[in-house]
């Protein structure tokens, strides 16, 4: 369980900036936010073989949380990708499973989160992350809709491809 100092966090954020290979996923992150009835920032992480990569987000706060999660190697998205099942964090403040991610999410004003995975191919998995300032904001139908939406994201990655990870 890793915690980051200010200098280390600044270096980490720069290191985990994305390259242009995921630019086509920006519209999906923004589209996910637009489909939900409550204000939500959305982001996308891709795992190729064993490498996690920040791909897209609808806002800087969600992007920051994803970068911290990738650097720490743990968080709801990482767990969702590893276990191929959704992770729902009803109350970020009360959930102590991922300290670095939890701290980043709380520092940016998020109180709830969810991570929904989808398989792209044998080597690639994607997860759609939802972040909200409200406690337990998403109804079951909204989460089911986002689960279908992450399947669309996986298909877009299959169709358009991505630059292989270094």
Domain presence at residue 165 = no
Domain presence at residue 11 = yes
Q: Which residue has the tokens 């923004």?
A: 30
Domain presence at residue 120 = yes
Domain presence at residue 82 = yes
Residue 113's φ and ψ, nearest 5 degrees, are -155, 160
Domain presence at residue 1 = no
Q: Percent of the chain at pLDDT above 70?
A: 85
**What is the C-alpha to C-alpha distance for residues 15 and 47, in angstroms, rounded to an integer?**
16
| Largest separation between any pair of C-alpha atoms in the chain | 41
**What is the C-alpha to C-alpha distance for residues 130 and 116, in angstroms, rounded to an integer?**
9
The pLDDT value recorded for residue 109 is 98
- Burial per residue of 75-87, b for 16 or more beta-carbon CB atoms within 10 angstroms, e otherwise: bbbbbbbeeeebb
The pLDDT value recorded for residue 78 is 97
The pLDDT value recorded for residue 160 is 84
Provide the number of structural domains found in the chain. 1
Q: Which residue has the tokens 């759609």?
A: 128
Q: Which residues of the chain have pLDDT under 70?
A: 1-20, 162-166
The pLDDT value recorded for residue 118 is 98
Domain presence at residue 86 = yes
The pLDDT value recorded for residue 70 is 96
Q: Looking at residue 45, what DSSP letter applies?
A: E
Q: Are 61 and 41 in contact (CB under 8 A)?
A: yes
The pLDDT value recorded for residue 8 is 53
What is the CB-side half-sphere exposure of residue 64 using CA atoms within 13 A?
16
- How open is the CA angle 90-47-132, to the nearest 5 degrees? 25
The pLDDT value recorded for residue 127 is 98
Which residues are registered as beta bridge partners of 112? 132
Structure tokens at 41: 């920032």
Structure tokens at 97: 């499973």
pLDDT in tens, 55-83: 999 999 999 999 999 999 999 999 999 99
Give the range of the structural domain holding residue 103, as residue numbers without chain letter. 6-160
Domain presence at residue 152 = yes
Domain presence at residue 166 = no
Cβ neighbours of 98 (radius 10 Å) = 25
- Which CATH number belongs to the domain containing residue 10 in this structure? 3.30.450.40
Q: What is the pTM assigned to this prediction?
A: 0.86
């Amino acid at each position: 369980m890793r915690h980051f100092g200010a200098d280390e966090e600044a270096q980490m954020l720069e290191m985990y900036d994305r390259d242009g290979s995921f630019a086509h996923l920006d519209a999906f992150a923004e589209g996910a936010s637009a489909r939900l009835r409550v204000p939500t920032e959305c982001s996308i992480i891709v795992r190729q073989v064993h490498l996690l990569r920040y791909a897209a987000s609808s806002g800087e706060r969600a992007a920051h949380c994803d970068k911290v999660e990738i650097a720490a190697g743990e968080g709801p998205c990482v767990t969702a990708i590893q276990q191929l099942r959704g992770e729902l964090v009803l109350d970020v403040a009360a959930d102590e499973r991922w300290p670095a991610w939890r701290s980043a999410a709380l520092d940016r004003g998020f109180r709830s989160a969810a991570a929904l995975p989808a398989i792209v191919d044998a080597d690639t998995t994607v997860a759609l992350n939802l972040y909200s300032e409200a406690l337990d904001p998403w109804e079951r139908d909204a989460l089911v809709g986002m689960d279908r939406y992450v399947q669309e994201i996986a298909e877009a990655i299959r169709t358009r491809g991505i630059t292989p990870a270094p």
